[in-house]
Amino acid sequence: MPELDRSVLTSSPELPRSRAREILSNQQFLLFVVLIALMTYFYTRNHYFFTVGEFQNIFTDFSGYALLAVGEMFVIVAGGIDLSVGSTVAVSGVLGAWVMNGMMNGHWNQFWVLVVGTIICGIVGAIVGLFNALMITKAKLVPFVATLVTLSAGLGFALLFAQFFNSGQPVGNDPAAAVFSSKAIWVFTYPSIFIIAIVVIAGIVLHLTRYGRYTYAIGSNSFAARAAGINVQRHVGSIYVLSGFLAGLTGMFYFMQLGSGAPTSGDGFELTAIAAVVIGGASLTGGRGRMSGTVLGVFVLTVVTFGLVFINVPPAWTQIVVGGFIALAAALQSLRPSGRKSA
Amino acid sequence: MFDKATEKVYFSDNVVSGGMNGSSPRFMNKGNQMISLKNPKGAMRVAGTMALAGVLSATSLVALGAQTAGASKTYTIAFNVGVTSDPFFLTMRAGATAEAKKLGVNLEWQGNVNYYSPATQLPFLQSALASKPDALIFAPTDTKALEPITNQFVAAGVPVFNVDSGNANQKNIVSWITGNNVQGGQAAADALAKAMNYSASGTYNVVIGVSSVTTSTDAARLAGFKAEIKAKYPKIALKNVFATNSVSATAISDINQALSANPGATGTASGLSGIFAIDGTDAAGAVAALTAKGKLGKVALVGYDAYATSVSQLGKGGFSALIAQQPYLEGQLAVKAAVSYLKNGKSASAAGIMHLNTLANKVLTATTSASVLKKYTYRTK
């Protein structure tokens, strides 16, 4: 936790800032260059890369990680961490699938099934987030431990529910949802349009509203934020609920992809979300980072992960390349002039 | 990270009750004092769910424990598997439970609910060893890592049986009942070639989805598949083998990539002709991806394991073929072998037990008769 407001340092004119350093420090610009280079490389390996169909795939996969990373972004900017999002995807997907399956057996209209399913998944996610919030703000557990509890227990519940509803197999069978989720306007599938809209709103909230400014303030220095009259406890609690809610919606997204709620969906996704936020330039110590960086981070991870599959590279390499990106992002952060990019 | 001055401690006079085993979730703060939630209303809903789940798991445990039947000597057999939530092992459990009931022995079913790894399996085996069962049947999650604990069982006079997967060193294993995964992979290659209408004039691009290339069963199936196409189908090109770590969502993404990378007509060098989904999660992902892209029935799909949902899609253009194992029979035969061994003075020859009992896989297709489908479909009862 930075004890000093570092913006004071950046604004002092006597600090030397070379031009090269400044370009290097613009992590988003670099990420963008890397992204274009990657895509060009994939194109040279297989010319079908720049097709509408492939970009639909990319935006679909992007959507799966995007909401998790956005929720994680809020948490990380506020100086916390949320490890539970992967399990939240699983538990909300399984419970949502159970409700939707019941509605389908009752011959509800498919549209309303999906609407209610989305609401249920969001609520289940928010409840998991609330549990995190209570453990952190009331029971005073550190976020890492509190969300580790829900990561573990959440997955356990997802498995228990799946066992109870469908003897351990994925719950529900709704192939129409899978078909609907692949319908697209140009490169944007229906779910990805919905999710991109949420990402834009989240960006506006983080950068242009009081809620966002409080988030940065708490992440920079929670003592100062409290002294400035911010209800730190309530704000931090609400961020974990938000992160849970977005993870719940992601559970719905994967239900639609698969046409059923699988307890294994979301396994390990929390690390992908955190990786995207870090690659996007946010600092794990809080108070620093931009939503556009996180969005680029998710995009780079998606293109790397599935682009390598596209050109038939063995899966182990994907992990290594992603690791390389995280190392690069960390190196850039240490190079960067010690100033806050945003507040 | 938060203001220390606001930290409050609430002593446990109104602890939120509920939880897995009726215990109360209590939170330890830095001073190791028991504290409870200040306002437990929000947490109550979660706690309620936890309590419900606790009841559920308790009921299943009671059901499991109720199999003790009266006999001159009631044997207790510890049965330990990789992942208890996997439908494959659930089916095996059903077979083992039925046989145990029939023979009047006590069955202790154990295993990690989700993680297929020796590290998570070992504690269950250690506690089984402490409870001194009459016999141990287990499916090792690693060919080597569980040999030391196996030796401890043998040293304690507990005969050890393998089911499904096996230890690399089979010397001190009484009997190993397993499906033939290499043969399963070969059968999958044959079934896929047939479904793609293989002819020497075409080119057939194929991808395989595996859970993990290091899982012994997946590796054996993959090896069988590769050997078969090398020997019999030179025009089948294996484009990619991707690992999904048992996450169906990843399988969907991977299949989508394979479809986009090979958008041409099936049977040509630029098209995707076939998919071999090596386990259930890959199969579910492949079906979802093909359904969404309108390619179901156009791209040949061979799956492994006869899950009920997969079998129901056989006739409807979903799966071209399924390679069915016999987990129910594996469970039954393993318990039968163990009891027979115990009743015949711990002599394998007297009990008539084979050291290695390999059960054939069955290829299920749309033309398979309903009765055969029913026989091979995995069930949990």
- A336 lies in a domain? no
Environment class of A137 (CB within 10 Å of its CB; exposed 0-12, middle 13-18, buried 19+): buried
What is the predicted pLDDT for the residue at A26?
77
What is the predicted pLDDT for the residue at A90?
95
Q: How far is Cα B78 from Cα A190, in angstroms, rounded to an integer?
A: 50
What is the predicted pLDDT for the residue at A25?
64
List CB contacts of A74: < 8 A, sequence separation 6 or more. Answer: A202, A206, A215, A239, A242, A243
Q: Residue holding tokens 């598949």?
A: B225
What is the predicted pLDDT for the residue at B42?
41
Q: How far is Cα B253 from Cα B80, in angstroms, rounded to an integer?
A: 34
Neighboring chain B residues of A173 at a CB cutoff of 8 Å: 309
Q: How far is Cα A24 from Cα A111, in angstroms, rounded to an integer?
A: 48
What is the predicted pLDDT for the residue at A325?
85
Per-residue pLDDT tens digits of chain A, which is 343 residues long: 444 454 444 444 444 556 666 666 677 888 899 899 999 999 999 999 999 999 999 999 999 999 999 999 999 999 999 999 999 999 999 999 999 999 999 999 999 999 999 999 999 999 999 999 999 999 999 999 999 999 999 998 998 898 888 877 788 888 888 889 889 999 999 999 999 999 999 999 999 999 999 999 999 999 999 999 999 999 999 999 999 999 999 999 999 999 899 888 888 899 999 999 999 999 999 999 999 999 999 999 999 988 998 998 887 788 888 888 888 888 877 776 554 444 4
Judge: B281–A181 Cβ closer than 8 Å, yes or no. no
A218-257 as b/e, with b when 16 or more CB fall inside 10 Å?
bbbbbeebbeeebebbebbbbbbbbbbbbbbbbbbbbbbb
Do B331 and B163 form a contact (C-beta atoms < 8 A)? yes
Continuous H helices in B196-307 = 216-232, 248-261, 280-292
**pLDDT averaged per 10 residues in sequence order, chain B, 381 residues:** 38 35 35 37 44 46 42 84 84 95 94 80 93 94 89 96 90 93 94 94 93 78 96 95 84 93 92 92 88 90 88 82 94 96 89 89 91 88 70
Q: At what angle do helices A143-166 and A85-105 cross, to 10 degrees?
A: 30
CA distance A72 to chain B (A): 17
- A36 lies in a domain? no
Chain length of chain A: 343
Reading the block at residue B198, the tokens are 């293989």
Judge: A306–B253 Cβ closer than 8 Å, yes or no. yes
What count of CB pairs under 8 Å joins A to B?
Answer: 176
Mutate: best of B38, B41, B56, B85, partner A, most A CBs <10 A? B85
Neighboring chain B residues of A162 at a CB cutoff of 8 Å: 85
Mutate: best of B27, B32, B319, partner A, most A CBs <10 A? B27
Q: How far is Cα A318 from Cα A334, in angstroms, rounded to an integer?
A: 25
Phi, psi of A208 (to 5 degrees): -120, 5
CA distance A19 to chain B (A): 35
Do B357 and B121 form a contact (C-beta atoms < 8 A)? no
**What are the Cα distances from residue B168, in Å, to A222, A324, B147, B173?**
56, 36, 8, 10
DSSP strand E in B69-163: where? 76-83, 106-112, 135-138, 160-163
For residue A53, what is the nearest residue in chain B, using CA coordinates?
A: B260
- A279 lies in a domain? no
Question: Could you report the per-residue pLDDT of A143-168, keeping only the tens digit for each?
Answer: 999 999 999 999 989 988 988 888 77
Query: How far is the first Cα of chain A from the last one, in angstroms, to the nearest whole number?
Result: 16
Of residues B170, B175, B164, B215, the one with CA closest to residue B344: B175
- A115 lies in a domain? yes
Residue numbers of B between 241 and 300 with CB closer than 8 Å to A: 241-243, 245-249, 252-254, 256-263, 281, 284-285, 288, 291-294
Q: Per the structure, how many domains does chain A have?
A: 1
- A126 lies in a domain? yes
What is the predicted pLDDT for the residue at B118?
84
Q: What percent of chain B has pLDDT over 70?
A: 80
Neighboring chain A residues of B264 at a CB cutoff of 8 Å: none
With vertex at residue B179, the alpha carbon angle to CA B335 and CA B182, rounded to the nearest 5 degrees, is 160
For residue B239, what is the nearest residue in chain A, using CA coordinates?
A: A312
* Contacts of the segment B303-307: beta carbons below 8 A, 24+ positions apart: B303/B277, B304/B184, B304/B188, B304/B221, B304/B277, B304/B278, B304/B279, B304/B280, B305/B87, B305/B88, B305/B279, B305/B280, B305/B378, B306/B364, B306/B373, B306/B376, B306/B377, B306/B378, B307/A169, B307/B87, B307/B280, B307/B283, B307/B377, B307/B378
- A325 lies in a domain? no
Strands A188-189 and B106-112: unpaired
3-class DSSP string for chain A: CCCCCCHHHHHCCCCCCCHHHHHHHCHHHHHHHHHHHHHHHHHHHCHHHCCHHHHHHHHHHHHHHHHHHHHHHHHHHCCCCCCCHHHHHHHHHHHHHHHHHHHHHCCCCHHHHHHHHHHHHHHHHHHHHHHHHHHHHCCCCCHHHHHHHHHHHHHHHHHHHHHHHHCCCCECCCHHHHHHHHCEECCEEHHHHHHHHHHHHHHHHHHHCHHHHHHHHHHHCHHHHHHCCCCHHHHHHHHHHHHHHHHHHHHHHHHHHHCCECCCCCCCHHHHHHHHHHHCCCCCCCCCCCHHHHHHHHHHHHHHHHHHHHCCCCHHHHHHHHHHHHHHHHHHHHHCCCCCCCC
Query: ipTM surpassing 0.90, yes or no?
Result: no
- Give the one of B30, B245, B292 whose C-beta lies nearest to A179's C-beta: B292
* CA within 13 Å, CB half, A60: 34
Neighboring chain A residues of B49 at a CB cutoff of 8 Å: 157
- Reported pTM: 0.77
For residue B50, count other CB atoms closer than 10 A to its CB: 22
For residue A90, what is the nearest residue in chain B, using CA coordinates?
A: B247
Identify the domain containing residue A61 by its residue range.
Answer: 57-267
Do A75 and A244 form a contact (C-beta atoms < 8 A)? no
- A238 lies in a domain? yes
Mutate: best of B20, B60, B248, B319, partner A, most A CBs <10 A? B248
Q: How far is Cα A70 from Cα A298, in angstroms, rounded to an integer?
A: 9
Give the helix/strand (H/E) hosting B275: strand B272-277
**What are the Cα distances from residue B330, in Å, to B61, B78, B142, B157, B170?**
22, 15, 19, 24, 18
Of residues A164, A327, A93, A129, the one with CA closest to residue B57: A164
Q: How far is Cα A123 from Cα A127, in angstroms, rounded to an integer?
A: 6
Residue numbers of B between 16 and 45 with CB closer than 8 Å to A: 27, 29-30, 35, 37-39, 42-43, 45
What is the predicted pLDDT for the residue at A340?
46
Mutate: best of A56, A82, A160, A255, partner B, most B CBs <10 A? A160
Torsional class of A259: left (φ above 0), alpha (ψ -120 to 50), beta (otherwise) = left
What is the predicted pLDDT for the residue at A21?
66
Do B240 and B207 form a contact (C-beta atoms < 8 A)? yes
- A61 lies in a domain? yes
Judge: A168–B284 Cβ closer than 8 Å, yes or no. no
Reading the block at residue B19, the tokens are 């939880």
CA distance B131 to chain A (A): 26
